[in-house]
Copies of this chain bind each other. A is one copy, B any other.
C-alpha cells in the first residue's frame, strides 16, 4: 500500500459496465511528510474518501477488486482506508539510534 492524498475526481460516462456507479478519485501518492511521491493514479473509492483526505491506497488488481467487491471489475487501484495519523521517522534517524 501507499499513502495517498485525494486531489480530484474523474467523470466518465462511457465506460466498462462493471465500473458503473464506482467513484473514481484522483490520488497523489505521498511520502510520510506529505510531499509528492510519484505520479497520481485513478483509484476506485472503497472507503468513502473525500477531496483532501489522506488515504490508504492499494495498487494492484487483486486487492482493488477485493476492496470494490465486484468480481471481474477492470480495476487496478483502490482506496481501502482513511488515514488518521502517521507516525514516522526518517530511515537515517532510525539507523542512528
- The reply to whether B13 and A82 contact each other, CB–CB distance below 8 Å, is yes
Prevailing SS type, chain A contact patch: mixed
Q: How many residues of A contact B (CB 8 A)?
A: 72
How many copies the complex holds: the figure is 5
- The reply to whether A81 and B51 contact each other, CB–CB distance below 8 Å, is no
Could you say which of B34, B37, B61, B80 contacts A62, with CB atoms under 8 Å apart? B61
Distance between Cα atoms of A78 and B60 in the complex (Å): 14
- The reply to whether B58 and A14 contact each other, CB–CB distance below 8 Å, is no
Distance between Cα atoms of A97 and B56 in the complex (Å): 20
- The reply to whether A15 and B47 contact each other, CB–CB distance below 8 Å, is yes
Distance between Cα atoms of A19 and B46 in the complex (Å): 13
Chain B residues whose C-beta falls within 8 Å of the C-beta of A60 in the assembled complex: 60-61, 76
Distance between Cα atoms of A82 and B24 in the complex (Å): 13
Contact with B along A33-74 (1 / 0, CB 8 A): 010111111110011100110001011111111110000111
